[in-house]
Amino acid sequence: MSEMINTADFDVTTPEDELTVDGLCRDLLMQFYNLLLEEGVPPGQASAFAGSADYYLRDYLVSIRRKNLFQHEEGMIRQFAGNWYIVSTLEPNVNELAKHLEGIREFYRYLSRRELIGTKVLENVEQECSDLAYYDNRIESFWDISGDGYLSWEKECSLKI
């Protein structure tokens, strides 16, 4: 398929690592995008999938959380979709979020096909990407926050774990 990947190269411990991993993620996302095209996915859809995976990986997982994408932990996508996306987006909405989650799911399916993640990780990703009712409720409850209600809203799906 393509060259072997050393998943430890995706560890982020220093600012220099973050730049290196950002580039490695970009390269991996291009491989993902090119494979989608080879499989007959229309260019616009392939671009949307890769763009959404990019948003999750580079803007959130690497830059904000400083996590190795191959060391997936349960709840990482839930924290992204149920908290970070909502507070980091000017007009968060479940339709846009659903498109991001679809791209993230497709990217992790790609990683699974390359045997870079296990079945259990993929099952967790699939489940967390499918919980649109929960994320819709989180968005609605975010808009309903008043007074000092943010702390209890944030605590329900905290980034502080």
The tokens of 25 are what?
A: 């993620």
Tens of pLDDT, residues 106-137: 999 999 999 999 999 999 999 999 999 999 99
pTM of the model: 0.94
For 42-101, what is each residue's pLDDT tens digit? Answer: 999 999 999 999 999 999 999 999 999 999 999 999 999 999 999 999 999 999 999 999
CA distance 31 to 7: 15
Contacts 24+ apart (CB under 8 A), 25-33: 25/54, 25/57, 25/58, 25/62, 25/69, 26/54, 26/58, 29/53, 29/54, 29/57, 29/107, 31/2, 32/106, 32/107, 32/110
**Residues 81 and 75: beta-carbon distance below 8 Å:** no
